[in-house]
Amino acid sequence: MKSEKIGVYGMSCEHCVKTVTQALSSLKGVNSVNVSLKNKSADITFDEGIVSDEDIKKAIENAGYKTSE
């Protein structure tokens, strides 16, 4: 299991937080997700044998947000 903090840019309210949380939670291999509007980030714990950093970033982008400023 791997823990990582990933930047999430473009969120403006709690609804955005919920959208990102749901997008990440629905990925296979993701164990826990904690999205922070204030810190513009997602703390995520995942099984790197099942899901990759790239998959996670792609899920954030597909949800309509950015992973870099």
The residues of the shown chain that bind Cu ion, judged by CB under 5 A, are 12-13, 15-16
Nearer to Cu ion, 16 or 27 (CB): 16
- Residue 42 — left, alpha, or beta (φ > 0 → left; ψ -120 to 50 → alpha)? beta
Give the SS3 label for residue 65. Answer: coil
Q: For Cu ion, give the closer residue by CB, 19 or 31.
A: 19
Q: In angstroms, what is the minimal distance from the CB of 62 to Cu ion?
A: 16
Q: Given strand 41-46, what is the order of strands in its sheet?
A: 2-7, 41-46, 30-36
Shortest distance in whole angstroms from residue 11 CB to Cu ion: 6
